[in-house]
Chains A and B, each alone.
Chain A
Amino acid sequence: MTLPASEGTVEVLEALEGPTSFNMPPINPETQNSRTRKALSNGLLLVLGLLFLAPMVWLAFASLDSQATWSVEWPHFTLSNFQTVLSGTDLQALMNSLILAIVSTAIATVTGTLAAYAMSRRRIPWKGPLLLFVLFTSGVPLTILIVPLYQLFAIYGWLSIIPTAIFLAVTSLPFEIYLIKNFIDAVPEDLEEAARMEKANTFQILTRVVGPLALPGIAAAAIFGFVNAWGSFIVPLVLISPASQQPAPVAIYGFIGAANVRYGDIAAYSLIFCVPVFLLYAMSARLFREGFVLGGAVKG
C-alpha cells in the first residue's frame, strides 16, 4: 500500500526548500573546518544523487531515441515514440487508467468525507475501536485480498473495470478517512455552531461550512486515492478480464513481454504514465502547507 505517500508529502517542499539548519551555527561561522565539512557533504550528496539518478537516465534517453535498445546511448532524437503510444490501444489503456482512478477517487473521497465528519464531530459508540480498525486496515497489504476477491468477483460476474474501481476505492478509504478526519478536527467548531443557529442542516453544514474549510485535506486525500488507483497493477491484472478495459500499468507490463520489444515506446509510455503522479504529489505538498491556516476564521 501507498501509505507513506501521504505522510511524506507534508515534507516534500520542506525538504527541498527547507531553510532551517540542523547544525548549530559555529562560533566562527566560516571556519576552515565547517567549510570543508560542507564541501564534503555536498560532494557525497552529489555522488548519492548520481547513483539515484542512474536508473532513470535510460528512461529519458530511450524515450527520445528512434533506435533505442536497453543500453544507454545518446538518442537519435525523435518525438515519434510519444506519438506512437498516444494512439490506439496504448491510449485506450491510459484512458482506462483515468476512468479507474476517477471513479475510485470519487467513491473513496465522498464516502470518506462523510465518515470522517461523523468520526470527528459526532458521539459514536465504540469510536476508539472503530478508528483503530480503520487504521489497522490501512496497514494490511492488499495483495492478500486478491484470491478471495477474484473468487467473489467471478461468482457475481464483476470481473470488469467499474467493480474493480470500487474495490480500489476501498483500498484507499481507510487512509482517506484518517487524513480527512485530521483536517476536520482542525476546523473550529464555532463556525459550525453559528451555522446551526441559522438552522443549517447537516448536509448544508458539510457542503457550505466544513467542506470548504477542510478542502485542502479532502483534496489531499483525493490525490492520495487517485495516485493509489492510478498506479495499481496486480488488482486490475487479476480483477479485470476484458483486455480492452485493462489500464496502463498492465499495458506497460505487456510491452516488456511482447515478442517484438518496442524500447523507445516503453520509455515514452512510462514517462507519460508518471507525469500525473508527479504533478499531483507536488500539488498535495502545497495543499498540506495551506491546510493549517484556519485560525483566522474565528475571531478571538
Chain B
Amino acid sequence: MKASTLVDGSVIDPSTIDLWRTRKDKERFQWSSLALLTPAFALLIILFLIPVGYAAYLGFTNLTLVGPTAVKWGYTGMANLHRLNSDTEFRSSLVLSAFFVVGSIVGVLIFGYWLASLLMRSTPWVRVVVGGVVVIAWMMPAITAGMTWYASTTAGGTFATLTGLSNSDFLGSYPLLVVTIANIWSQTGFAMLVFGAALRNIPSEILEAADVENASRFQRFRLIVLPMLRPTMTAIVLLVALLSLANFSLIYVMTQGGPGNATNILPLYSYQQAFQFNNLAYGALIGNVMVVIAAIFGVLYVRVATRRSR
C-alpha cells in the first residue's frame, strides 16, 4: 500500500490505520459483556439447568435415600413409569392438585376483583384498614400463614369459636377445603392490588359513554370492564396456578399432606416419596410430572408477559 498525501502535504501511514476498529459504537459485541454475564448465568446453569436435567435422569433410576441402592444405583428404564401408571396414590394426588389449583384460581379471582372494585368506591379510612389487612395476609411468609391457619381452624380454634361449634375440627374434617381457603387468603392481596391498578387504568370516558347509552351495570361489566381486564386476569391466573401448583410450605405446616392423604398434592407427594419413603428416584419422577405441567403454564406465562410488554 502507498502512503497517501493530503492537501496540506502531511502523510498518512496506512499501517497506523486499524482496519478492525472501524466501528466503535455500542452496537459491537464487547468481550467484557461476557464477563458481566458469566457470574449470573454460570449460577443459573449449575444450580438450575443442570439439576433440572439431572432430575429428568434420576426419575428413571432406582436411586434411594438409604440402603444398598443409595450407593450402587443405575438406570432402570421404564420401571418407574410403569409404577407411576398403576399408582392410585399418584392419581389421587393429581386430582387433589387440580382441585387445589383450580379452587385457588377461582377464589383469588373472585375475591381479588371483588375487593378491588369495592375499594374503588369506599371511604378512605375503610380503604386503608381493609386494604391493609388483605395486603398483610398476602405479605405473610407461607410458613406463618400456614401456622396461623392451623391455629385458627384446628379444634377449639378461632373459627370453631366464631361458629359456636367449639369442638369442631374444621381442618380435620374438611382438610382440602381449608388448605385451599388458606391459600386463597394468602394470595388474594396480590390479585386485589393488580386488579385495582387495572381498574384505575380504564378510562372513565368509556364508562360514561356506556351510561349515556343506558347500559346496565351488568352490561357495563361484561362488555367494557371484563375485556379490558382480560390481560390482567390471564397474568393472575397463570401466577396463581404456578404458585399453587408448587405450594409446599403452607400445606406441609397445616396437614403434612394428611389426614390420611387428603391434602397430598404433587409437591408433597414428591417430597413424601423422596424423603419419607426414601424413594429419591420415584420422587424425582413425580417432580418431572410437575415440571411438564409447570412448563405448560410457564410457556403460556412467557407469552402473556412478552405480549403485554409490547
Select one of A11, A48, A111, A278 contacting B39, CB under 8 A: A111
Contact yes or no, A44 B55, CB < 8 A? no
In the complex, what residues of A have CB within 8 A of residue B158's CB? 54-55, 57-58, 71-72
The count of chain A contact residues (Cβ–Cβ below 8 Å) is 101
Select one of A22, A24, A112, A263 contacting B40, CB under 8 A: A112
> Is A146 an interface residue when CB atoms closer than 8 A count as contact?
yes
In the complex, what residues of B have CB within 8 A of residue A151's CB? 54, 58, 63, 280
> Is A115 an interface residue when CB atoms closer than 8 A count as contact?
yes
A123 and B26 contact, Cβ closer than 8 Å, known pairs A45-B122, A141-B290, A148-B58: yes
A22 and B117 contact, Cβ closer than 8 Å, known pairs A4-B243, A170-B43: yes
* Cβ < 8 Å to B, chain A residues 20-52: 20-24, 37-38, 41-42, 44-46, 48-49, 52
Closest CB in chain B relative to A54 CB, distance in Å = 6
The count of chain B contact residues (Cβ–Cβ below 8 Å) is 119
Contact yes or no, A132 B243, CB < 8 A? no
> Is B6 an interface residue when CB atoms closer than 8 A count as contact?
no
Question: Nearest CB to that of A69 among chain B residues?
Answer: B156
In the complex, what residues of B have CB within 8 A of residue A56's CB? 133, 136-137, 148
Main secondary structure of the interface of B (DSSP, over half): helix
Subset of 5 A-B contacts with CB under 8 Å: A10-B197, A41-B122, A111-B43, A115-B37, A144-B287
Q: Residues of A with Cβ closer than 8 Å to B? A: 1, 3-5, 7-8, 10-12, 14-18, 20-24, 37-38, 41-42, 44-46, 48-49, 52-59, 62, 69-72, 107, 110-112, 114-115, 117-119, 121-125, 132, 134-137, 139-152, 166-167, 169-170, 173-174, 177, 202, 227, 230-231, 233-234, 238, 249, 252-253, 256, 263, 266-267, 270, 273-274, 277-278, 281
Q: Residues of B with Cβ closer than 8 Å to A? A: 26-30, 32-33, 36-37, 39-41, 43-44, 47-48, 50-52, 54-55, 58, 63, 111, 114-123, 126-144, 147-162, 166, 182, 185, 187-190, 192-194, 196-197, 199-200, 202, 204, 207-208, 211, 238-239, 242-243, 245-246, 248-249, 252-253, 267, 270-271, 274-275, 280, 283-284, 287-288, 290-291, 294-295, 297-299, 301-302, 305-306
